[in-house]
Amino acid sequence: MPLLEPEPGALHPRDLGGPSPDRVPPHRAAGTPEPLRGELTELLGAEKVLWKVSDLVRYASDASPYRFVPQVVVIAEDIDDISAVLSYARGRQREVVFRAAGTSLNGQAQGEDILVDVRRHWAGVEVLEEGRRARIRPGTTVLRANAALARHGRVLGPDPASAIACTVGGVVANNASGMTAGTTRNSYRTLSSLTFVLPGGTVVDTADPLADEELARAEPALCRGLMAIKREIEADPALTARIRAKYEIKNTTGYRLDAYLDGNTPVEILRGLMVGSEGTLGFISEVVLDTLPLDRELCTALLFFPTLPAAAAAVPRFNEAGALAVELMDGNTLRASVGVEGVPADWAGLPRTTTALLVEFRAPDAAGRDACARRAAAALEGLDLVAPVPSVTNRFTGDPGTISGYWKARKAFVTAVGGARARGTTLITEDFAVPPSRLAEACAALLELQAEHGFDAAVAGHAAHGNLHFLLAFDAADPADVERYGAFMEAFCRLTVERFDGSLKAEHSTGRNMAPFLELEWGPGAAGLMWRTKRLVDPDGVLAPRILLDRDPRAHLRGLKTIPRVEAEADPCIECGFCEPACPSADLTTTPRQRIVLRRETVRQQPGSPLLDGLLGAYGYDAVDTCAGDSTCRLACPVGIDTGALMRDFRHRRHSGREEAAAALAARHFGAVETAARAALAAAGRVPDRVRNRVLEAATGAARRAVRPDLVPRWLPQIPGAAGKPPATRRPGAEAVYYPACVNRIFGGPADRPGPPLPQALVAVSERAGKPVWIPRDVRGTCCATIWHSKGYEEGNRVMANRIVEAAWGWTAGGRLPLVVDASSCTLGIAREVVPYLTPDNRSLHEELRIVDSVVWAAEELLPYLQVRRTVGSAVLHPTCSTRHLGHEPQLRAVAEACADEVVVPDDAGCCAFAGDRGLLHPQLTAAATAREAAEVTARTFDAHLSSNRMCEVGMERATGRSYHSALIELERATRP
C-alpha cells in the first residue's frame, strides 16, 4: 500500500446541487458496450478507441446548448481510419459524427453513436505560391494558419471570432465567415479545392484533372443524380432566381443550392455542396484556400450611440465610406465585457440602451490609411454620438494597443455575455441576416420580440452585412422555461422569414437549433432538393443525421443541456473550447473545457452511484494529475477562467494531513533540502554516467511506487548539478539585487554548452553594462513558493511566500532597489502568486517591492549600454508560459535578437508542461505538450536554442534532443570582450 494516498472522497462534489434529470443514466457506467467496443478495437487498435464513461462524457458537450453522449469515441489518425469507420458504420447501420474543435454553436460536433475526433492528428499548413494559396489540414486552427501566412503578407478570408480555437475543417464545413468576410471572402468564395471522403469510402480530390472520371467510375448513381438536380434547377427560372437571391446576403441555412448553378460537373457540384454541409455529406481531409492581402495599416474607432436602432441606422454610412468591418455591440454586450482584459471598468455603468459600432478601415500603406481616415472623418459628420462614460472618445485611431482592446471586447461577445449569465442557466447563441438596408428595422423588431417573451438578450454582430447575433439564457431544467424559449424561437423564425425575407442562419450553419425551420425559410420545393441531395450522397444515412435536416418540429428542444453549478472558478464556463489549443494535456488526457464538463457531470449524478465512482476514479489522473497548472487556459479564455487554479485546489483537497505537514516541514527547512539536493547532484556527477543513471532511476522509481508519483520525480540524466557557489558580488554600488532562483542554485546548465552558468553570466553582463548587481549571501533556503503552489500545498506555500517577501524587503532596502529574478516562473511566483498567502503586514511590504524578470532587466536596462561583438546565425526561441503571463515576450525576443541574426519563435510554441517538476512526475505530459513545437524545431538547424527558465529548457531538450540555454547566457557570450 502507498504510504500516502489522496484523501478518500476528496474530489466528490461539495454541496453543489443534486441529481439532475438529464444525468448520464446508470446503465452507461461501463462505457462503450460490446460488441461495439471490441469490434472497433480490433479494426483500429486499442489506442484509437476511447470507451470509458469519462471519455464519452467529456466529448458529449461542445460550445452549443446541446449535450449528447456518444456510444464510443474514435481518434482517427488518417484517411484509412476514416474509411474503415465509415465502412463499419454502413455495414452495421450505425451513425458517425466528425468532431474537430467543438466550437460550433448548434450541436454540429455531437453525436449519439460513433463520434470521430479529427483534431488531434489532422494539423498542418503548407504555404503555396508565396502565400497566395494555402494547403491546410482540417484540424489546423485559423489562428495557426494565419500565423504561417502572415510571413508572406497574406491572410485567410474567413475570420471568425473563435479563430483562436476553431479549425479550418470546421470553418469550411460550416461556411463560417466572421467580422470581415461577408459574402465575398467566406469559405465558399475563397475555396480553391478540397479533398474529401464520401460516405461510401470514395476519396475525391477536386484539384485532380481526372477527378470526375474517377468519381463516375466509383459512384455512377451519385453523378447521375447530381446532374439531374442541376438540370431541374436550371429549368426553373423562378427557383434559379430565388437561389441567387438567397445568397445576396449571408446565408448558411441548409445545403448550398447555388453549388448546382456554379458547378458544371459532379465534382465541382460536390466541392460547393461540401461547404456548409456540417459533416453530413463527407469528411473534408484537406483544404486549399485562396488567400487575401494582409493590410496592416488600420484606422479604427469604437463609436457610441444612444440606442441600438440608432447605431444600426448609421451602418450604411460606413459601408459607403469603404469600411471593411462594422461591428455592433449593444448595451448588454458592452457591460458584460467589463471582465475582459483591457475593457474599461466604467463600461459597467453604461445606460441599458447604449450601443456601440466598432468601425475599421484597412489599407496596405500609410497613404491608404490617411485616405481611409479622411473618409472616416466625413462619415462621422452629423451622427448622433454619445459619450456616456469618461472612457468613450468616439475617435478613430491607428494605435495597435487601443485597437487590440476594441477587438478583444468584440470577440469576447459569446464568452463574456455567457459568463455573466445567471448561474445554472443554458446559453443560446443565434445569428441571422437581413438585407443591410433593413438592419435598423430588424433590430427594433428583435428587441420588441424579446421583451414580449420575457428575454433580455445581448445583441452583437457583423452589422455591415446585416448579420446579427443574439444571446439569451434560460433554465433547461425547467420545462416551462424550455417552452418559453421554444415559443420565442418559433416567433423569431417567422419574423425573420416572413417580415424580412432573411436568413435564419447567416454564418453558424444550420445545426440542431434551426434544422426544424429549414423549410420555413426555403419553402418545400428547395427543401425537398436538399433532402434529395442528402439521400444521393449518403443513401445509408450514416453521416450526422438530425444535425442539418430534421422534420421533427420540436427537434431543437431535444438534448438541451442543463448547467449544474460547480466551483466558482469554473462556473462561468460556457464550454466554448477557446482554451483547448493552449492546453498542454489536450492530446494526452483532458482539456480545461473537458475538466469542467466532467465536473458538471459529477454534480448531475446520484451520490454513491457506480457511474459517479467511475467518473471520479478517472478524474484524478485525467484531470488533476496531468494538468500542468500553468494557467495558459486563463490567457486563452476571454473571461479569464483559470482551470489550472481549480486543479491546484483539487490537489490540495486530495492531500492528507500528514502530506500537508510534510510539505510545510520541507518549506521550513528548505535550506537543508537545498543543500542535500546540491550534494546529491554533485555526488552523482562524480559517478560514471551509466552507473549513476541506473542507480538513481531505480531509486526514484522505488520511491515513486512507495510514496506516490506526484511526490517523487523521476531521475532525468539531462540535469547536471549547479557548478559551485554563486559568484561574489558587492552590495555597495549595486543597481539591483539579483535573486538566483533555487532551480538555478541547484541545477546547472546544459553540460555540452561551453561558457559560464547563468548566475555568473548575469553578474558579468550587468557589470559590463555598468549596472552591477548584488547577490545576498543568505538566499539559500528561500524560494518563490511555486513548488508548493503548483501542488496545492497551502501551508508550505504560506511559509515560503512570507519568507521570500520578508527576505526581499531586507535585501532591497525596503524596495529601493529592484529585485532581479533569473527564472520567469519564479518572477511570476514572487510578483503575483505569493500575494494571496501573505500576512496583511507582508502584503504591504510586497506592494513596495519592484520584482523584475532578468529578461526585462537585460532588455531594458542592459542592452542600451552593451556592445554586441559576435552573433550566431540563427536562434530558435521558446517563450515560457510564465513569460506570456507576465507579458514579457517582446523583451525576451529583444534579447535574442541582440544575439542572433535570425530569431524564430515556432508557430506551435506553447507550454512545455514541464511546470517546475511536473515533467519529472509525468514525462508523458511533456512529450504530448511539446510534440508539435518539437517537430518545427527539429525540421531545420539552429545555432542556438534559447529560453528563460531552466526547467522549461530541460523540457524542450527532452522533446527535441537539442541543447537549450538561457537567453542571458547567450547575451553574455555575444557581448564578451
pLDDT tens for 176-214 read: 998 889 899 999 999 999 999 999 999 999 999 999 999
Question: If you average pLDDT over residues 373-378, what whole number do you get?
Answer: 94
What pLDDT, on the 0 to 100 scale, is given for residue 421?
A: 86
What pLDDT, on the 0 to 100 scale, is given for residue 4?
A: 42
Which cell numbers hold the place of 582? Answer: 493552449
Flag whether pLDDT at 693 surpasses 70: no
What pLDDT, on the 0 to 100 scale, is given for residue 179?
A: 87
Q: Name the band, by pLDDT with cuts 50, 70 and 90, for residue 8.
A: low
Element holding 965 (H helix, E strand): strand 964-966
Which cell numbers hold the place of 466? Answer: 446585416
- Among residues 852, 858, 899, the alpha carbon closest in space to that of 765 is found at 858
Q: How many CA atoms lie within 13 A of 166 on its CB side?
A: 25
Contact between 503 and 433 under an 8 Å Cβ cutoff? The reply is: yes
Question: If you average pLDDT over residues 266-287, what whole number do you get?
Answer: 98
The three-point CA angle 629-630-631 to 5° equals 95
Contact between 512 and 66 under an 8 Å Cβ cutoff? The reply is: yes
Which tens digit of pLDDT belongs to each residue from 156-170?
999 998 999 999 999
Q: How many CA atoms lie within 13 A of 952 on its CB side?
A: 27
Radius of gyration of the chain from its Cα atoms, rounded to whole angstroms = 29
Flag whether pLDDT at 917 surpasses 90: no
Flag whether pLDDT at 724 surpasses 90: no
What letter does residue 67 receive in the DSSP assignment? B
Name residue, grid cell 420580440: 449
Note if the bond before 35 is cis, omega within 30 degrees: yes
Flag whether pLDDT at 829 surpasses 50: yes
Which tens digit of pLDDT belongs to each residue from 726-759?
899 999 999 999 999 998 888 877 777 767 899 9
Helix (H, G, I), strand (E, B) or coil at 252: coil
Q: Which domains does the chain have, with CATH numbers?
A: 297-501 (3.40.462.10), 564-654 (no CATH), 861-975 (3.40.50)
Helix (H, G, I), strand (E, B) or coil at 682: helix
Determine the Cα–Cα distance for residues 543 and 114; give it in Å rounded to an integer.
10
Contact between 58 and 597 under an 8 Å Cβ cutoff? The reply is: yes
Which cell numbers hold the place of 750? Answer: 546544459
What pLDDT, on the 0 to 100 scale, is given for residue 5?
A: 46
Angle between helices 237-246 and 518-537 (to 10 degrees): 110
What pLDDT, on the 0 to 100 scale, is given for residue 684?
A: 63
**819: burial class by Cβ within 10 Å (0-12, 13-18, 19+)?**
buried
Determine the Cα–Cα distance for residues 431 and 521; give it in Å rounded to an integer.
14
State residue 406 phi and psi, 5-degree precision.
-60, -45
What pLDDT, on the 0 to 100 scale, is given for residue 894?
A: 98
Determine the Cα–Cα distance for residues 749 and 480; give it in Å rounded to an integer.
65
**660: burial class by Cβ within 10 Å (0-12, 13-18, 19+)?**
middle
What pLDDT, on the 0 to 100 scale, is given for residue 1?
A: 22
Q: Name the band, by pLDDT with cuts 50, 70 and 90, for residue 708.
A: low
Mean pLDDT score across all residues of the chain: 92
Name residue, grid cell 461501463: 30
DSSP letter for each residue of 359-395: EEEEESSHHHHHHHHHHHHHHHTT------STT----
Share of the chain above pLDDT 90, in %: 82
**Residue at 358: amino acid letter:** L
Which tens digit of pLDDT belongs to each residue from 602-634?
999 988 899 999 999 999 999 999 999 989 999
What are the beta bridge partners of residue 74? Answer: 49, 116
pTM for this model (two decimals): 0.94
What pLDDT, on the 0 to 100 scale, is given for residue 505?
A: 96
Note if the bond before 584 is cis, omega within 30 degrees: no
The three-point CA angle 450-452-458 to 5° equals 15
Determine the Cα–Cα distance for residues 897 and 891; give it in Å rounded to an integer.
10
Q: Name the band, by pLDDT with cuts 50, 70 and 90, for residue 921.
A: confident
What pLDDT, on the 0 to 100 scale, is given for residue 19?
A: 80
Choice among 506-510, 607-611, 720-724, 933-937 with the minimum mean pLDDT: 720-724
Which tens digit of pLDDT belongs to each residue from 79-136?
999 999 999 999 999 999 999 999 999 999 999 999 999 999 999 999 999 999 999 9
What pLDDT, on the 0 to 100 scale, is given for residue 7?
A: 66
Q: Name the band, by pLDDT with cuts 50, 70 and 90, for residue 804.
A: very high
What letter does residue 707 receive in the DSSP assignment? S
Helix (H, G, I), strand (E, B) or coil at 65: coil
What pLDDT, on the 0 to 100 scale, is given for residue 517?
A: 97
Q: Name the band, by pLDDT with cuts 50, 70 and 90, for residue 3.
A: very low
Flag whether pLDDT at 780 surpasses 80: yes
Contact between 98 and 113 under an 8 Å Cβ cutoff? The reply is: no
What pLDDT, on the 0 to 100 scale, is given for residue 10?
A: 83
Which tens digit of pLDDT belongs to each residue from 864-900?
999 999 999 999 999 999 999 999 999 999 999 999 9
Choice among 114-123, 501-510, 717-726 with the minimum mean pLDDT: 717-726
Q: How far is CA 863 from CA 562, 768, 860, in A?
A: 56, 10, 6
Determine the Cα–Cα distance for residues 945 and 529; give it in Å rounded to an integer.
58
What letter does residue 257 receive in the DSSP assignment? T
Question: If you average pLDDT over residues 676-693, what whole number do you get?
Answer: 65
What are the beta bridge partners of residue 136? Answer: 125, 287
Contact between 104 and 170 under an 8 Å Cβ cutoff? The reply is: yes
What pLDDT, on the 0 to 100 scale, is given for residue 914?
A: 86
Helix (H, G, I), strand (E, B) or coil at 340: coil
What pLDDT, on the 0 to 100 scale, is given for residue 721?
A: 66
Share of the chain above pLDDT 70, in %: 94
Flag whether pLDDT at 563 surpasses 90: yes
Q: Name the band, by pLDDT with cuts 50, 70 and 90, for residue 714.
A: low
